[in-house]
């Protein structure tokens, strides 16, 4: 009976510590004892919006969580292929330089990417995840639409 009370006490203590309690946090060993594993695990999520696949990564650290979001927008044509199209796209990309959350970059293969990263104190809740995602999208989406028209 005392083992059952100890198990309940451990569970109460974990609930008092707060969320998140992830899958696999609580384990029961062969003799009925409960062990608690609070090791944080990274997670990845994906969603489609306006024809683009967005990727979200959450990386818990000791005292904060790193939130990253990114999407591949398209390819910047070389000047020889389409100089007018390249000039329009470069104008739009230059206009994004002052954005706070969304950063548009062109990689070495001429791929246009939009990236965002924020560090959130403590464990990230679902409300935090939605807030950061919406803030990023509100800033990036007007430029993504213009880029989409140019591509």
Domains of the chain: 2-36 (no CATH), 43-150 (3.30.1460.70)
Quick check: pTM over 0.75?
no
Rounded to an integer, what is the distance from CA 31 to the centroid of its chain? 40
In the predicted structure, residue 19 carries a pLDDT above the cut 60: no
Give the pLDDT band of residue 38 (cuts 50, 70, 90).
low
pLDDT tens digits along 77-110: 988 889 999 999 999 999 999 999 999 999 999 9
Give the pLDDT band of residue 36 (cuts 50, 70, 90).
low
Distance CA 4, CA 31 (A): 11
């Amino acid at each position: 009976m005392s083992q059952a009370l100890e198990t309940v006490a451990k569970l109460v203590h974990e609930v008092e510590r707060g969320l998140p309690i992830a899958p696999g946090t609580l384990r029961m060993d062969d003799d009925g004892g409960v062990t608690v594993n609070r090791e944080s695990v990274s997670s990845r999520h994906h969603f489609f919006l306006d024809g683009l696949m967005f990727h979200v990564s959450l990386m818990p650290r000791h005292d904060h969580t790193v939130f990253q979001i990114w999407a591949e927008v398209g390819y910047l044509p070389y000047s020889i292929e389409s100089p007018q199209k390249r000039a329009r796209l470069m104008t739009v990309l230059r206009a994004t330089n002052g954005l706070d959350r969304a950063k548009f970059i062109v990689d070495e293969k001429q791929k246009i990417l939009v990236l965002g990263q924020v560090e959130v104190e403590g464990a990230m809740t679902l409300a935090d995840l939605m807030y950061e995602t919406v803030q990023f999208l509100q800033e990036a989406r007007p430029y993504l639409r213009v880029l989409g028209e140019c591509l």
